[in-house]
Chain A
Amino acid sequence: MTNDSLLERCRETLAAATTSGAEHAEVVGATVHRMTATVSKHDLQITQSQRETNLGVRVFDGNRLGFACTNRPENAAAICADAVAIAAASPADEHNVLAAAGDLPPVADLFDPAAEAFSTKDVVRQAIRMIEVATAFDPRVILGDAEFVAEVTERAIATSAGVAASERGSLFTYFALATARDGEKVSNFDFQFGAARSVAQVDVEPITRRVSENALGSLGAEPGVTFNGTVLLSPNAALSVLVSLIGFHASGMNVFRGMSRWGDQVGKPVACEQLTVVDDGTLPGGVGSSSFDREGVAHQRVALIDKGRLTSLLHNTYSAHALGATSTGHASGSPRSLPDVAFTNLEILPGDRSRDELISEIDRGLLVTRFSGNTNPVTGDFSGVAKGAFLIENGKLARPVAGTLIAGNAFEALQRLSGLSKEREQVYNFNLPFVRLESVSVTAA
Chain B
Amino acid sequence: MLELLTSVAQGADSWAEVRYHARRRKQIRVRNGRLEESSSTERAGVGVRVLVDGVFGFASTTDLSREGILRSLRDAQQAARAAASSKKHRIEKLASIPPTAGAFGFDVDDPLDAHTLEEKLELVQRIERRIAASDPRIVSSSASYGELVDEKVIATSDGVAVHLFQSRPEFRTIATAGENGMQSLGMDSVGVCGGWSDMFCKRTAEQLADHAAKMAVDKLAAPFPEGEEATVILDPELVGILAHEAIGHTVEADLVLGGAITQGKIGQTVASPLVTLCDSGHSERLPHAVGTSPVDDEGVPAQRTVVIERGVLRSYLHDRETAAHLGVEPTGNARAWEYSDQPLIRMRNTYIEQGDTPLAEMIAGVDHGYYLKGLGMSGQADSNAEFMFGVGEAWRIDGGKRGEFLREVTISGNAFDVLKSVDAVGNDFDWEYSAGYCGKGQPAKVDCGGPHVRCRITIGGRQQ
Contact = CB atoms under 8 A, between A and B. Distances in A.
Interface of A: 35, 37, 40-53, 65-72, 75, 79, 82-83, 85-86, 89-91, 93, 119-121, 123-124, 128, 142, 144-145, 147, 179, 181, 186-189, 226-228, 257-259, 336, 338, 372-374, 376, 378-379, 381, 383-385, 387, 402-403, 405, 407, 441-443, 445
A340 B39 CA distance: 14
A51 B88 CA distance: 28
A258 B44 contact: no
Contacts of A85: 117
Interface centre among A40, A45, A83, A338 (most CB of B within 10 A): A45
Interface stretch (B27-35, B105-113, B233-241, B275-283): B27-35
A3 B57 CA distance: 29
Contacts of B377: 374, 376
B43 A71 contact: yes
Contact of A443 (B117, B227, B254): B227
Contacts of B208: none
Contacts of B383: 144, 179, 186, 189
Contacts of B257: 40-41
B147 interface: no
Interface string B87-115: 11100000000000000000000000000
B42 A75 contact: yes
A271 B353 CA distance: 50
Nearest to B26: A86
B423 interface: no
A89 B414 CA distance: 50
Nearest to A83: B40
A48 B58 contact: yes
Contacts, number: 223
B35 A91 contact: yes
A52 B62 CA distance: 7
B342 interface: yes
Given A90-B121, A227-B463, A441-B227, A124 B82 contact: yes
A227 B464 CA distance: 8
B79 A385 contact: no
A119 B81 CA distance: 12
A323 B382 CA distance: 43
Contact of B32 (A48, A82, A258): A258
A71 B388 contact: no
A360 B109 CA distance: 66
Interface string B436-447: 000001000000
Interface in B42-63: 42-45, 55-62
18 contacts: A46-B79, A46-B83, A47-B83, A50-B59, A52-B340, A53-B62, A65-B38, A68-B40, A82-B40, A90-B38, A119-B82, A257-B32, A258-B32, A373-B390, A374-B377, A379-B183, A384-B388, A385-B388
B458 interface: yes
Nearest to A261: B183
A258 B59 CA distance: 45
Contact of B458 (A90, A372, A384, A445): A445
A133 to B, nearest CB: 15
B86 A124 contact: yes
Q: Is the interface of A mostly helix, strand, loop or mixed?
A: strand
Interface size for chain B: under 10, 10 to 19, 20 to 34, or 35 or more residues? 35 or more
B35 A385 contact: no
Given A49-B79, A226-B227, 20 more contacts: A37-B83, A44-B55, A47-B79, A47-B83, A48-B79, A51-B60, A69-B41, A70-B43, A71-B45, A79-B40, A120-B79, A179-B383, A228-B463, A376-B377, A378-B176, A378-B184, A379-B184, A383-B408, A383-B410, A403-B386
B80 interface: yes
Contact of A383 (B43, B89, B261, B460): B460
B127 to A, nearest CB: 15
A189 B36 CA distance: 38
A248 to B, nearest CB: 12
A369 to B, nearest CB: 13
Given A378-B176, A403-B413, A405-B227, A258 B140 contact: yes
A203 to B, nearest CB: 20
B25 to A, nearest CB: 9
B223 interface: no
A257 B128 CA distance: 14
A69 B42 contact: yes
